[in-house]
Amino acid sequence: MRPRLVRAGLIGVALAFLALCLVMPLVAVFAEAFAKGFEVYWASISEPEARRALWLTAVVAGLSVPLNMTFGIAAAWAIARFRFPGRQLLVTLIDLPFAVSPVISGLIFVLLFGAQSALGPWLEAHDITIIFAIPGIMLATLFVTFPFVARELIPMMEEQGADAEEAAVALGASGVQLFWRVTLPQISWGLMHGVVLLTARAVGEFGAVSVVSGHIRGLTNTAPLHVEILYNEYQFAAAFAVASALSLFALLSLGLRRAVEWRMAQPR
Amino acid sequence: MSARTLPGFRPALSFTLLYLSFMVLIPLAGLFLKSAELTWAQYWHIVSGPRAVASYALTLGTSATAAGVTAVFGLLVAWVLVRYPFPGHRIVDAIVDLPLALPTAVAGIALTALYAGNGWLGAPLERAGFKVAFTPLGITVALIFIGLPFVVRTVQPVLQDLEPEVEEAAASLGATRAQTFWKVIFPAILPALVTGTTLAFARALGEYGSVVFISGNLPLKTEVTTLLIMTKLEQYDYRGATALATVMLGLSFVLLLAINMTQAWLRRRNGVEGA
């Protein structure tokens, strides 16, 4: 009798905490978004500035994925399949961006490419703007999403071992064949998992992008930055409308992540 | 490993090192070069100014409080998810990752709306005498939201791998349930709990998006260090921002080291236990 009570009590407290801490904020986003009715909602997410912000976010995330994915695969191949001095250090260095605050992740690119930097005058003379422009947003996003694919693939490939690949090489497979026919099929779900996490972070990044963007409306505003601008202008319904679009994407990424994890747990 | 026969080592490693250098190492090195432009006295003046020191105290205090709360509730949530498969526990399990998926700015405005004086939670709390939004309490609430998945996701797998035989043995030797928990289960999950809590703490120290809206940003009162860096940047005080950033980075690296050491400890202990 008593264990059952303890159990019910613990489940109750845990669920109440999660409802209060995680579910309520999510519900609040949608409630605030529709607070002024569906028409205001629709107008807020379909007006040109919001559309451009959502589009820029999609472009930045869309470009970050292939770049950091290529890096992740190359790093995992070198680290999980070969032994070389400094290998462990390399793993630690790849994880470094996760230990850096988003604000600092943006700051380092301002220091490198901003008008006051050593490169600044040269960039200006050649009409290249990186900071307060889209290339800066791109760099900051690449930095904060840097480790996702590599840290997913390295343990996965280490666990799988190199047997299949060594057999393929012994049978005369070329490097290209080896990658497309043996390695990629083996790591595809892990890769997918890393890409889902990477995309969610790229879409939602705020601090780093905020530092490098310069907040030029309709030009260098990503969706999270647009939310901030609207909120600071007291356009709460509009801010939450754009936030709700981002929240839907976050929920979608959570669902996708679960589906991929479920697939990864299935016996091959 | 006999992997010498596999192709592609040189191109893969070269690309990895090149991309890592250009994307991460050179930009981070730039930060330290920039701070080297300051003399020691100038540097010290910036990082020990009253506003900076107040921001460290606030950041450390709120982060530590939030980490403590997430440790307790994160352990509870992990326990319930692993031990009590109630209906719908899969959905609850998926929701735990929400703070990592939700853009921090969205979390920030949502929490502010909830806890503001006219919010669903803020209104009753204010009547009860607690002001949450625009106070250190609000910052702590945001950091609890952000930190929770780190604790749950670190403790959960360890709890899952615990062997029921050990608990059964303890029970058959006459241990009460509380004794079994504190003497058998808790020591086994403690390293994971410490690691998860440290991760949540480290994340909280650098957090910006979810905090900036709910904090109110009053200098000396509700201004965390990331916000102070941002303010300095907006005033084009790059040296000041850089000096504060090096303090934060130093702290992050110490924590990263602490996490790695805890994990090594965990591996050693599990190795001994498994033998």
Same domain membership, residue A55 and residue A26: no
Is B32 inside any structural domain? no
As a whole number, mean pLDDT of residues A150-163 equals 93
What would the pLDDT profile of B224-265 be if each residue is shown by its tens digit? 999 999 999 988 899 999 999 999 999 988 888 888 787 777
Model pLDDT, residue B1: 45
- Region B147-176: mean pLDDT is 91
CATH number, position B96: 1.10.3720.10
What span, in angstroms and rounded, lies between the C-alpha atoms of A255 and B96?
12
- Looking at the fold, whether A61 and A128 belong to one and the same domain comes out as yes
Assess whether A109 and A76 both reside in one domain. yes
pLDDT digits (tens, 9 = 90+) for B72-95: 999 999 999 999 988 888 899 999
Asked if B208's CB is within 8 angstroms of A74's CB, the reply is no
Residue B270: pLDDT band with limits 50, 70, 90: low
Tell me the two tokens of residue B178.
């509380």
Q: Does residue B110 fall inside a structural domain?
A: yes
Report the gap between the CA of A179 and the closest CA in chain B (Å).
Answer: 10
Q: Per mean pLDDT, which range of A248-252, B98-102, B133-137, B269-273 is the poorest?
A: B269-273
Q: Are residues A116 and A3 both part of a single domain?
A: no
Q: What is the pLDDT of residues B37-82, one digit of tens each?
A: 999 999 999 999 999 999 999 999 999 999 999 999 999 999 999 9
Judged by a CB distance cut-off of 8 A, whether residue A34 touches chain B is no
Per-residue HEC secondary structure of A106-150 comes to HHHHHHHHCCCCCCHHHHHHCCCCCCCCHHHHHHHHHHHCCCHHH
Residue B122 belongs to some domain of the structure: yes
> Do A23 and A63 have their domain in common?
no
Domain that holds residue B104: 53-269
Comparing CB atoms, the residue among A22, A28, A111 nearest residue B31 is A111
* Domain annotation covers residue B91: yes
CATH number of the CATH domain containing A165: 1.10.3720.10
Residues 6+ apart with CB under 8 A from A116: B236, B238
Residues A41 and A167 in one domain: yes
- Tens of pLDDT, residue by residue over A69-104, are 999 999 999 999 999 999 989 998 999 999 899 999
As a whole number of angstroms, the distance between CA A216 and CA B270 comes to: 53
Nearest to A82 among B9, B19, B98 (CB): B9
Best residue in A104, A177, A262 for a mutation probing chain B (most B CBs within 10 Å): A104
Domain identity same for A60 and A19: no
> Domains in chain A: how many in total?
2
| Alpha-carbon distance values, A72 to A67, B48, B260 (Å) | 9, 40, 22
Give pLDDT, residue B261. 81
Low-confidence winner among A77-91, B122-136, B160-174 (lowest mean pLDDT): B160-174
Contact B35, A107 (CB under 8 A): no
Q: Decide if A75 touches B, using CB distance below 8 A.
A: yes
In a domain, B211, yes or no: yes
Number of helical H runs and strand E runs in chain B: 15, 0
Whether residue B39 is contained in a domain is answered as no
Domains: count for chain B:
1
| Mean predicted confidence (pLDDT) in A183-197 | 95
A95: containing domain: 34-265
Same domain, A152 and A209: yes
ipTM of the complex: 0.92
The verdict on A166 and A43 lying in the same domain is yes
Q: Please give the pLDDT value at position B273.
A: 47
